């Protein structure tokens, strides 16, 4: 075993206490790094994740660390002028920050001058681990759509914030915080998806959009948040052929705040699912709860949304209510 003088590495280069992998480690510091550096140590950190992607090798277990250097956005954010394409299989991305669940300070965002970016972070790679960072998509451009777009397979998103429609102008049709297009067998664990500071829903958009045969995706212990200004808004939108097999939401809270300083409009339904087509599938809700919407689905249900009904009927299971005096 070798321990270097800075006590950061051992076993020939593995980060002490870091993500266990067999590949190389790449460091990114958006505030003080430089893409002319090697990126191999914290003191020689790169400036951009895009550069780290070019240096990393697919299927070798390389790990990219995105370092937060303060609490301010300017010192913690890798700003993108185009979509950040995470396209190499088995290359992992981990934020170095407190690890809070909401709006982590290791951060990815769009340059305010950039336009027309669809899928600010686009994950086409397979078998990647993503953890402890946030993606914030909020600029004055209606043509930029989607904070995170996943087309890859078997990725794990652990404690990642995905917030789209982060500007009034982005309240545009087909916008979303998380889109899964054909992506299969991905897991989203302890993730915060959506945003409750910018009103949305005057156009047909959603926090999660499942399309093109999204297959066997699992959401576990997540919060899906929104701030609806129209009753026709929804948390999850599934167009025809959007699902294949199943999507499971487990221990997940769907929250549109109906009262308070940022009171939203109560939504008619949480899910807008178009049934039929081929492929087709179901959404299964296991120990989930709903705030700020009248129903999981409106009166004309698709028959594709199923919920565990312990202690309630199919019409009321998981719907929250004000506490009552004894």
The per-residue pLDDT for 109 is: 96
DSSP codes joined into one string, 166-225: -SGGG--TT--SEEEES-BS-EEES-EEE-SSS-B-SSS-EEEEEESSEEEEEEES-EEE
The per-residue pLDDT for 6 is: 47
| Burial of 106 (C-beta count, 10 Å sphere; 0-12/13-18/19+) | buried
The per-residue pLDDT for 259 is: 67
Catalogue the long-range contacts made by 317-323 (C-beta closer than 8 Å, 24 or more residues apart). Answer: 318/285, 318/288, 318/289, 318/290, 319/289, 319/290, 319/295, 320/289, 320/290, 320/291
Residue 113 lies in a domain: yes
Which residue, 49, 53, 70, is CA-closest to 62?
53
Residue 268 lies in a domain: yes
Give the residue numbers spanning the domain of 288.
69-307
DSSP secondary structure letter of residue 44: G
The per-residue pLDDT for 4 is: 45
pLDDT digits (tens, 9 = 90+) for 188-222: 999 999 999 999 999 999 999 999 999 999 999 99
Domains in the chain: how many in total? 1
Q: What is the CATH number of the domain that holds 282?
A: 2.160.20
Instruction: Flag whether the pTM goes above 0.75.
Output: yes
In contact, 296 and 305? CB cutoff 8 Å: yes
SS3 43: helix
Residue 104 lies in a domain: yes
pLDDT digits (tens, 9 = 90+) for 30-49: 999 999 999 999 999 999 99
The per-residue pLDDT for 2 is: 42
Which residue, 320, 316, 256, is CA-closest to 289?
320
Residues of the chain with pLDDT under 70: 1-18, 259-262, 309-315, 320-326
The per-residue pLDDT for 284 is: 94
Residue 50 lies in a domain: no
Residue 29 lies in a domain: no
Q: How far apart are CA 151 and CA 263, in angstroms?
A: 34
In contact, 146 and 179? CB cutoff 8 Å: yes
Q: How far apart are CA 170 and CA 203, in angstroms?
A: 10
In contact, 293 and 256? CB cutoff 8 Å: yes
**Helices (H), strands (E): how many in the chain?**
2, 27
Residue 172 lies in a domain: yes
Residue 8 lies in a domain: no
Residue 149 lies in a domain: yes
The per-residue pLDDT for 321 is: 62
Backbone angles phi, psi at 52, to 5 degrees: -60, -40
The per-residue pLDDT for 107 is: 96
Q: What angle do CA 306, 128, 35 make, to 5 degrees?
A: 135
Q: How far apart are CA 200 and CA 214, in angstroms?
A: 24
Beta pairing class for 9-10 and 14-15: antiparallel
CA distances from 179 to 31, 42, 155 (A): 29, 33, 14
The per-residue pLDDT for 186 is: 98
């Amino acid at each position: 075993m070798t321990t270097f003088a800075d006590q950061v590495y051992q076993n020939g280069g593995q980060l002490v206490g870091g993500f266990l992998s067999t590949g190389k480690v790449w460091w990114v510091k958006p505030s003080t790094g430089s893409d002319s550096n090697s990126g191999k140590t914290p003191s020689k950190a790169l400036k951009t994740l895009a550069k780290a992607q070019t240096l990393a090798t697919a299927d070798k277990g390389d790990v990219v660390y995105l370092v937060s250097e303060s609490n301010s956005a300017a010192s913690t954010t890798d700003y993108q002028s185009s979509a950040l394409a995470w396209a190499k299989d088995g290359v992992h991305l981990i934020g170095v920050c407190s690890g809070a669940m909401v709006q982590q300070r290791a951060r990815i965002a769009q340059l305010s001058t950039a336009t027309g970016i669809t899928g600010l972070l686009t994950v086409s790679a397979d078998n990647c681990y993503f953890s402890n960072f946030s993606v914030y998509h909020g600029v004055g451009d209606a043509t930029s759509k989607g904070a995170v777009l996943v087309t890859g397979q078997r990725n794990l998103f652990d404690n990642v914030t995905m917030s789209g429609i982060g500007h009034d102008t982005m309240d545009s049709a087909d916008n979303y915080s998380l889109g899964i297009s054909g992506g299969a067998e991905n897991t989203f664990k302890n993730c915060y998806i959506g945003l409750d500071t910018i009103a949305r829903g005057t156009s047909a958009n959603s926090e999660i959009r499942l399309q093109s045969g999204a297959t066997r995706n699992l959401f576990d212990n997540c919060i899906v948040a929104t701030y609806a200004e129209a009753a026709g808004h929804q948390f999850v939108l599934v167009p025809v052929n959007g699902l294949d097999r199943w999507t499971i939401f487990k221990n997940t809270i769907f929250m549109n705040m109906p009262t308070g300083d940022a009171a939203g409009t109560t939504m008619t339904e949480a899910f807008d699912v178009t049934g039929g087509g081929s492929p087709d599938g179901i959404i299964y809700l296991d120990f989930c709860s709903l705030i700020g919407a009248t129903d999981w689905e409106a009166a004309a249900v698709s028959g594709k949304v199923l919920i565990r009904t312990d202690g309630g009927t199919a019409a009321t299971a998981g719907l929250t209510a004000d506490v009552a005096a004894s």
